Chains A and B, each alone.
Chain A
Amino acid sequence: DIQMTQSPSSLSASVGDRVTITCQASQDISNYLNWYQEKPGKAPKLLIYDASNLERGVPSRFSGSGYGTDFTFTISSLQPEDIATYFCQQYEDLPLTFGPGTKVGIK
């Protein structure tokens, strides 16, 4: 199975700050990576697909980049409504595997 790791596991930032999360795959997954947002008590929401493509309706302050084994997710200007856990998911091979998540809070 392809293992996904993320860092940091949690962070706190001020409104307006740039926030960056990294995701690393245990083997080359090309750009077969998606990013999700999960808020407490809610189902996850797809934000970014194919490592860098913004899902329709998702604010442009969210972005993704990377290829191979190393990927980055960025919130360019953190907003209060962005408080959530963010996780990556690879689909280079089954089983689908997910990163453990990064919990983003407001300072």
Chain B
Amino acid sequence: QVQLVQSGAEVKKPGASVKVSCKASGYTFTSNGITWVRQAPGQGLEWMGWISANNGNTDYGQKFQGRVTMTTDTSTTTAYMELRSLTFDDTAVYYCARIRAAIWGLDVWGQGTTVTVSS
């Protein structure tokens, strides 16, 4: 079945970086984009950006410009999101999701990766 499986929970210190992986299976990886969304405790969903798995083109949310890098590895059908210079405000659950083209519907989601920034 179509699924996205994310890497496990991370605990990082302020100023560190985190890299979350998102392994896709059950569909042609290069046919869809992957987006990353986060949800801080008690907050709503926040869009971070997206990457085309076909050509690697990216578009990042302005808030994350210069601090985030999204990549894909088509040989392993895995997407990655790296966030640098972490602060306490980056504590959140990070989701990857498959984008259904034309409707920008996020139709398959990973299980979420909890990133905790703590000193």
User: Which A residues have a C-beta under 8 Å from some C-beta of B?
Assistant: 32, 34, 36, 43-46, 49-50, 55, 87, 89, 91, 94-101
Given A98-B44, A99-B44, A101-B44: A46 touches B35 (CB 8 Å cut-off):
no
Instruction: Give the docked Cα–Cα distance between A8 and B107 (Å).
Output: 25
Q: Find residues 11-60 in chain B having any chain A CB closer than 8 Å to their own CB.
A: 35, 37, 44-47, 59
Given contacts A87-B44, A95-B62, 4 further A-B contacts (CB under 8 A): A32-B103, A44-B95, A49-B100, A98-B37
Q: In the complex, what residues of B have CB within 8 A of residue A50's CB?
A: 103
Nearest Cβ on chain B to A60's Cβ, whole angstroms: 18
Q: Mark B83-111, 1 if CB is under 8 A from A, else 0.
A: 00000000000010100100111110111
| Contact yes or no, B107 A55, CB < 8 A | yes
| Contact yes or no, A44 B44, CB < 8 A | no
State the main secondary structure of chain B at its contact with A: strand
Given A43-B112, A101-B44: A49 touches B95 (CB 8 Å cut-off):
no
Which one of B35, B104, B106 contacts A32 once the chains associate, using CB atoms below 8 Å?
B104
> Is B61 among interface residues, defined by CB-CB distance under 8 A?
yes
Nearest Cβ on chain B to A34's Cβ, whole angstroms: 5
Q: In the complex, what residues of A have CB within 8 A of residue B46's CB?
A: 98
Which one of B47, B62, B110, B111 contacts A98 once the chains associate, using CB atoms below 8 Å?
B47
Which one of A44, A95, A97, A101 contacts B106 once the chains associate, using CB atoms below 8 Å?
A44
Which one of A46, A96, A100, A101 contacts B107 once the chains associate, using CB atoms below 8 Å?
A46
| Contact yes or no, B105 A46, CB < 8 A | yes
By beta carbon, the residue of chain A nearest B111 is A43
Which one of B47, B111, B112 contacts A97 once the chains associate, using CB atoms below 8 Å?
B47
Instruction: Give the docked Cα–Cα distance between A96 and B100 (Å).
Output: 13
Instruction: Give the docked Cα–Cα distance between A60 and B19 (Å).
Output: 39
By beta carbon, the residue of chain B nearest A47 is B105
A-B pairs, 5 with minimum CB distance: A91-B104, A43-B109, A96-B47, A98-B45, A49-B105
